[in-house]
Amino acid sequence: MKQLNCPVNGLRDISEFQYLGPKRATDPENAETVVRHVFFVENPIGPMVEWWRHRPSNTVFLAERHTATDHFIRTWLPDGPEDTNA
Which domain CATH number covers 11? 3.30.2270.10
Range of the domain at 36: 3-40+48-85
Mapped onto helix, strand or coil, the DSSP state of residue 54 is strand
pLDDT score at 62: 97
Calpha distance 20→61 (Å, rounded): 10
Residue 34 banded pLDDT, cuts 50, 70, 90: confident
Residue 65 banded pLDDT, cuts 50, 70, 90: very high
Cβ(61)–Cβ(54) below 8 Å: yes
- Averaged pLDDT score across all residues of the chain: 87
Q: What is the rounded average pLDDT of the residues 45-57? A: 95
Residue type, 25: A
Q: What is the rounded average pLDDT of the residues 77-81? A: 83
Cα atoms in the 13 Å half-sphere on the side-chain side of 48: 18
Mapped onto helix, strand or coil, the DSSP state of residue 72 is strand
- Total domain count for the chain? 1
